[in-house]
Amino acid sequence: MFANLGQQAMLGIASHLFFIAITWWALQALHFDKLLRGNRVVQARVLYILLTIAIGTLVSTFFLNYLSWSRQLPYLFR
């Protein structure tokens, strides 16, 4: 039982980190400097990091939920 919880925790951490990294890479294609005021470099970086974490976490949560639900489908037919 505890081994299964450990595996789910490891999968969740890996998934979140993977999708945060993918989101960071994808957001590199946008030019945020044109949307932000000048001389606000620190605020722009913080916004960039928070946006990356928010989007990456949402996508990761979606995939983890989908995986969990697909594992529960066999219980529908019992």
The pLDDT assigned to 63 comes to 97
Average pLDDT of the residues in 38-55: 89
Question: Does the structure show a pLDDT above 70 at 31?
Answer: yes
The pLDDT assigned to 78 comes to 79
The pLDDT assigned to 60 comes to 98
Average pLDDT of the residues in 34-52: 85
Condensed to tens digits (0 to 9), the pLDDT of residues 58-72 reads: 999 999 999 999 999
44 exposed, middle or buried (CB, 10 Å; 0-12, 13-18, 19+)? Answer: middle
Percent of the chain residues topping a pLDDT of 70: 99
Q: Which residue has the tokens 């890996």?
A: 14
The domain segmentation of the chain, as residue ranges, is 2-77
CA distances from 4 to 9, 20, 34 (A): 9, 24, 47
How many Cβ atoms sit within 10 Å of the Cβ of residue 52?
20
Angle formed at CA 20 by CA 34 and CA 33, multiple of 5 degrees: 10
